[in-house]
């Protein structure tokens, strides 16, 4: 009986894994406040993620990441270019430096 219970719990955890996929939400204000600009789902391993309308966000809320790298808006850093300005992991909120917004990110 113990083995069957273990197998059942293991199967349940594996089945739940897609529900725990990494995601991000883009906000107009600092500290993940203000209006919600957009949501990006299944971001882990998706390559460079950016808003379809070419916009940017002051802060980004993220969850379920092993590592996430943020890139500022403006020329040389657009579309995940020329090095990230901030790297985090897990879940949290990242506010862009003063005077700029986040334009894109990559997540593993």
List, in order of start, the domains of the chain with CATH numbers. Answer: 23-107 (2.60.20)
The reported pLDDT for the residue numbered 20 is: 64
Task: Work out the number of other CB atoms within 10 angstroms of the CB of residue 68.
Answer: 27
The reported pLDDT for the residue numbered 15 is: 39
Does residue 9 register a pLDDT over 70? no
Q: What is the pLDDT of residues 52-92, one digit of tens each?
A: 888 999 999 999 999 999 999 988 999 999 999 999 999 99
Q: What is the DSSP string of 38-104?
A: EEEES-BT--EEE-TTS--BSEEEEEEEEEEEEEESSGGGTTT-S--SEEEEEEEEEEPPTT--EEE
Q: What is the pLDDT of residues 11-26, one digit of tens each?
A: 333 334 444 699 999 9
């Amino acid at each position: 009986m113990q083995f069957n219970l273990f197998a059942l719990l293991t199967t349940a955890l594996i089945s739940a894994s897609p529900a725990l996929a990494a995601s991000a939400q883009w906000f107009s204000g600092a500290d993940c406040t203000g209006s919600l600009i957009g949501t990006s789902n299944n971001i882990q391993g998706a390559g460079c993620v950016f808003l379809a309308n070419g916009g940017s966000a002051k802060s980004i809320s993220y969850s379920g990441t092993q590592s996430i790298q943020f890139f500022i808006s403006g020329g040389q850093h657009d579309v995940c270019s020329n090095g990230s300005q901030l790297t985090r992991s897990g879940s949290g909120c990242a506010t862009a430096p003063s005077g700029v917004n986040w334009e894109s990110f990559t997540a593993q």
